[in-house]
Amino acid sequence: MCGRMRSNCARAIASAGGGIVASISILNAAPLPKILADRPDWVDARVQLGLTRYLAGDTSEARTIWQACQSQRPDLEGIAAYLAMVERIPG
């Protein structure tokens, strides 16, 4: 996620009182789907989208997103860890 977007999300989370529930709400409201519609090859943004899905409890969608990311960029660090994390949860 770019620094400006991350900063905007952090401010919104702080103004919402912080905490994981506020974080999930704000991150899901972030424009990742629109960004990805404009830049479908931006794997880093798709990894972040997978994380928002995971935190929202949609492990199946997170798994699908991260598997696609890993197929496209097997060298990208972190994806294997995210997949290992989601594999511990059925779905």
Reported as a pLDDT band with limits 50, 70 and 90, residue 56 is confident
- The verdict on 20 and 39 lying in the same domain is no
Whether 45 shows a pLDDT value over 60: the answer reads yes
- The verdict on 37 and 55 lying in the same domain is yes
- The verdict on 47 and 60 lying in the same domain is yes
Q: Which domain holds residue 6?
A: 1-30
Q: What is the distance between the alpha carbons of residues 54 and 42, in angstroms, rounded to a whole number?
A: 19
Q: What is the distance between the alpha carbons of residues 52 and 61, in angstroms, rounded to a whole number?
A: 10
In this prediction, residues 9-33 reach a mean pLDDT of 55
- How many domains would you assign to the chain? 2
Tell me, what's the pLDDT at 1?
Answer: 45
In this prediction, residues 43-68 reach a mean pLDDT of 89
CA distances (Å), 80 to each of 24, 34, 47, 83, 89, in order?
22, 25, 11, 5, 15
pTM: 0.64
Tell me, what's the pLDDT at 14?
Answer: 54
Tell me, what's the pLDDT at 18?
Answer: 47
Whether 68 shows a pLDDT value over 50: the answer reads yes
- The verdict on 56 and 79 lying in the same domain is yes
